[in-house]
Amino acid sequence: MFPWLARRYRKVGAHDIDTRQSFETAPELDHDPKCNTKPTSRFDMRQIGARPTITGLATAIVVIGFVILLVVLAWDHSHDTNEVEIHNCGNSSHEALALGCSFDQLTWSWYPPKCPHYANDEYLAAEEWAFYLDNQGQDAVSSTDPRWINVLDNKIELWGQQREHTAHCVFVFLSLAQILETGRQYASYYRRYEHMVHCSRVLLDALKMEPDRERIATFVGKVSYSQHCT
pLDDT tens, residue order, the chain (230 aa): 444 444 444 444 444 444 444 444 444 445 454 445 444 444 344 444 444 455 555 555 555 654 454 444 454 444 444 444 577 899 999 999 999 999 999 999 999 999 999 999 999 999 999 999 999 999 999 999 999 999 999 999 999 999 999 999 999 999 999 999 999 999 999 999 999 999 999 999 999 999 999 999 889 999 999 998 98
Confidence (pLDDT) at 53: 54
**Angle 187-135-170 from CA coordinates, rounded to 5°:** 35
Q: Tell me, what's the pLDDT at 162?
A: 95
User: What pLDDT is stored for residue 76 in this prediction?
Assistant: 46
Beta bridge partners of 109: 104
What's the pLDDT score for residue 230?
A: 80
C-alpha triplet 20, 22, 27: angle, nearest 5°:
100
Q: What does the alpha-carbon distance between residue 65 and residue 74 come to, in Å, rounded to a whole number?
A: 14
Whose CA is closest to 199, among 165, 222, 151? 165
